A = this chain, B = another copy of it.
Amino acid sequence: MQKVDTKTKILNAAEQLFAERGYADTSLRLITSQAEVNLASVNYHFGSKKELIQAVLARYLEVCAPSLEQSLAVLNKSDVPFTQHDVFNCLLAPLLELNTFRHRGTSIFLQLLGRGYIENQGHLRWFITTHYGKVLTAFNKAVQDANPDLSKEEIFWRLHFTLGTVVFTMASSKALIDIAKADFDVDVDIEGLIKRVVPFISSGVSAGGTLP
């Protein structure tokens, strides 16, 4: 049995609890007791709770961001026209790749991202933006090219609607999956959830103008 150092034990326990309960509702005492390390070691290794949160996210961003950038770059460099469906597919592969990086990695990452957006903590918004700026710009460009009929402003709104859909779905994915099991006796995992949400948001983004 390999020895896992304290820093990693903290990160593993923290990402699980942050995803399940949110950042504010997860105390350092809960994390350290779950990780079976001392309370003070969080501040020793990470400096503060804020920096721990950023470190938890950083582990995923380091894996995900380059993969996403490359995927979008291929699409944007291409000469053949592409659809909104292609754009979302660009996101899908790098996101699902996180499941090989860690068990339930995709779900955890999207939940962490969602919690960060929902809990109004400026430092996280800033942290994500600085690490995701290039990806977001590339993604925005791809969506514009896929929907030449939509104004930039319309795209702005619809991408935020999309973000809301995904973030909310992931943040409450556990509850949704449990309800689906109880009400419809179906087993849905995170991949099944994504497969169901993509048609929804694809159709929404490419929808016609304001209803008559």
**A residues touching B (Cβ–Cβ < 8 Å)?**
21-22, 24-25, 85, 117-120, 152-154, 156-158, 160-161, 163-169, 171-172, 176, 179-180, 183-184, 186, 195-211
Tell whether, in the assembled complex, residue B204 and residue A200 are in contact, meaning their CB atoms are under 8 Å apart: yes
Nearest 10 A/B pairs, CB to CB? A164-B168, A203-B207, A204-B204, A200-B204, A153-B184, A165-B165, A203-B203, A161-B200, A199-B207, A164-B165
Tell whether, in the assembled complex, residue B203 and residue A199 are in contact, meaning their CB atoms are under 8 Å apart: no
Which of B156, B176, B186, B209 has a CB less than 8 Å from the CB of A199? B209
Which residues of chain B are near A206, meaning CB under 8 Å?
A: 203
Tell whether, in the assembled complex, residue B204 and residue A208 are in contact, meaning their CB atoms are under 8 Å apart: no
The complex places the Cα of A161 from the Cα of B161 at a distance, in Å, of 10
Which of B119, B160, B208 has a CB less than 8 Å from the CB of A176? B160
Q: Is the interface of A mostly helix, strand, loop or mixed?
A: helix
Tell whether, in the assembled complex, residue A169 and residue B180 are in contact, meaning their CB atoms are under 8 Å apart: no
Known: A200-B204, A204-B204. A169 touches B176 (CB 8 A): no
**Min CB distance, A83 to chain B, in Å?**
10
Which residues of chain B are near A195, meaning CB under 8 Å?
A: 210-211
The complex places the Cα of A164 from the Cα of B204 at a distance, in Å, of 13
Known: A153-B184, A210-B196. A167 touches B169 (CB 8 A): no
Which of B153, B157, B169 has a CB less than 8 Å from the CB of A160? B169
Which residues of chain B are near A24, meaning CB under 8 Å?
A: 24-25
Tell whether, in the assembled complex, residue B171 and residue A118 are in contact, meaning their CB atoms are under 8 Å apart: yes
The complex places the Cα of A210 from the Cα of B209 at a distance, in Å, of 23
